[in-house]
Amino acid sequence: MQETSFYIKAYGCQMNVYDSKNIIEIMECRGFVRTLDPKAADILVFYTCNIRENAARKVFSAIGMLKSSKTKVIAIGGCVAQAEKDEIFKKSSLIDIVFGPHVYHKLPDYIGQILNGEQSKILDIGLEKFNKFEKAQRKNDVLFSEFVTIQEGCDNFCSYCVVPYTRGREYSRAAKDIISDIRYLISNGAKEITLLGQNVNSYDGDAAYINIGTKGNTWKLDRLLYEISGIDGLKRLRYTTSHPKDITVDLMTAHSEIPILVPFAHIPIQSGSDRILKLMNRGHTVAEYLDKLKMFRTICPHMQFSSDFIVGFPTETDEDFEDTVKVVNDVGYVVSYAFKYSRRKDTPASQMDGQISEHEKEGRLRMLQDSLSRHQIHRNNSLIGQVHSVLFDKCGKKENQYIGKNGYMQSVVVECDSNPIGEFRNVLIESSGINSVSGKILQK
């Protein structure tokens, strides 16, 4: 019998990367064969992101570009699917299956039902919680640096954000399942693990131990980190993304006590204006945020941070925006990400008066990015002369050139005769650019 091939494209955050790897695994276990050529594929799977309008729009242009005479089934999954529901079928008649981020384990069955003519259109945006994790038993393509989802969903309801609607309420995976996934990944070659969650530091043992069945234990993020750090063979541990209000002293202490836990955290502030933070429903002030970073650096002196920023939130004035630039200058982030506010359907902020023009947003975005770049250049420059432990994961453009990441997620480039990919090496930093630093590998 001829094999049925599928092509998958994922957009958006690291959690989507993680989900799409699980989808590949589930599809392959059911006999579908992955192809990297969309034009040769029988099935096209798009795993989507709805966070900003342009992220959501991308998928519809991609369908037109990637389908071919060979395409038999088009499936749209992930956050756009969850948010748009059956509206998606109206946007493109080519789409056969719409599946939310909680039910991807059912995709092979749905594809089967379309292929054998049992159904003509399928919509599933159910909110099952743990089934998808149980169905995906990763077997192939384990990378040196791997992601593991520990928590999903968000209860914070920031007024601009779609995530609480697309990923649902917060829930945490059982610690025993997370640990067994990580053991498996390490025994198959992974050396670095990044724990993922929309709100990773609200990881909640109560929800987890119901699944484990051992009462009396609490499993917050810090405890999970201590446990995971004891797994043999794991060389570096990270987590992302944190919410400022959920950063605890216990977590800060974990950073100072666990050698393989990087001295780095992504803690988005979004805006430097208390008035805007309130309208955003962030649940903290600028001073509370800065105090936490200060305490973090007292407990763990090498700690560095990155952040996300939104410019042009409804009613943001020049003064509010200048307060954001001030936070950037005060904190000195290693890297940061700035976005223009995007008006998302059904979020409270989309109904607010005082929406800012695209022109104004673009101007503010450029200014903020200039400040962030200046800090990044300064920070990269200050690394010259330091020795960093780097996990190499890809080749550079030039011959004998290799690229890896240090503990602060910065790209480090070296030239050397023997291929270091998959290895940690100590690198002496010798020069710096905006987005990377270069150096030489020190002999052990």
The site partner of 164 among ligand SAH, ligand F3S, ligand SF4, none (C-beta below 5 to 8 Å per kind) is ligand SF4
* C-beta closer to ligand SF4: residue 243 or 425: 243
* C-beta closer to ligand F3S: residue 17 or 416: 17
Phi/psi of residue 163, each to 5°? -55, -45
- From the CB of 344, what's the least distance to ligand SF4, in Å? 10
Rg of the chain over CA atoms, in angstroms?
A: 22
List all residues 6 or more positions away from 275 whose beta carbon is below 8 Å from its beta carbon: 320
Task: Give the whole-angstrom CA distance, residue 354 versus residue 186.
Answer: 51
Question: Which residue type does 217 have?
Answer: N
Task: Give the whole-angstrom CA distance, residue 72 versus residue 116.
Answer: 11
Chain residue whose CB lies nearest ligand SAH: 308
Number of residues that bind ligand SAH (CB under 6 A): 18
Task: Give the whole-angstrom CA distance, residue 367 versus residue 323.
Answer: 13
The site partner of 413 among ligand SAH, ligand SF4, ligand F3S, none (C-beta below 5 to 8 Å per kind) is none
Q: Does 159 bind ligand SAH (CB under 6 A)?
A: no
- From the CB of 100, what's the least distance to ligand F3S, in Å? 10
- From the CB of 52, what's the least distance to ligand F3S, in Å? 8
Task: Write out the E strands in 162-285.
Answer: 171-172, 192-196, 236-240, 264-266
Task: Give the whole-angstrom CA distance, residue 330 versus residue 73.
Answer: 52
List all residues 6 or more positions away from 248 whose beta carbon is below 8 Å from its beta carbon: 201, 220, 222
- From the CB of 243, what's the least distance to ligand SF4, in Å? 5
Residues 214-243 that bind ligand SF4 (CB under 6 A): 243
- From the CB of 205, what's the least distance to ligand F3S, in Å? 23
> Can you spell out the DSSP letters for 125-168?
-----SHHHHH----S---SEEEEE-EE--S---TT--HHHHT-
Mask for 149-168, x = binds ligand SF4 (CB under 6 A): -----x-xxx--x-xx----
| Dihedral in degrees, nearest 10, Cα atoms 419, 424, 425, 428 | 120
Q: Contact with ligand SAH (CB under 6 A): which of 51, 125, 293, 325?
A: 51
CA distance to 139, 310, 351, per residue, from 365 (Å): 42, 8, 22
Question: By the 8 A CB rule, do 286 and 272 touch?
Answer: yes
* C-beta closer to ligand SAH: residue 71 or 307: 307
Q: Does 198 bind ligand SF4 (CB under 6 A)?
A: yes
**Would you put residue 422 in left (φ > 0), alpha (ψ -120 to 50) or beta?**
left
Q: Does 361 bind ligand SAH (CB under 6 A)?
A: no
Q: Contact with ligand SAH (CB under 6 A): which of 12, 38, 43, 52?
A: 52
- Binding footprint of ligand F3S on the chain (CB under 6 A): 12-13, 15-16, 49-51, 78-79, 162-163, 166-167
* C-beta closer to ligand SF4: residue 271 or 380: 271
Task: Give the whole-angstrom CA distance, residue 432 versus residue 410.
Answer: 11
The site partner of 157 among ligand SAH, ligand F3S, ligand SF4, none (C-beta below 5 to 8 Å per kind) is ligand SF4
Q: Site residues (CB under 6 A) for ligand SF4?
A: 154, 156-158, 161, 163-164, 198-199, 243
Q: Site residues (CB under 6 A) for ligand SAH?
A: 51-52, 154, 160-161, 163, 198-199, 241, 243, 268, 270, 308, 310, 339, 341-342, 344
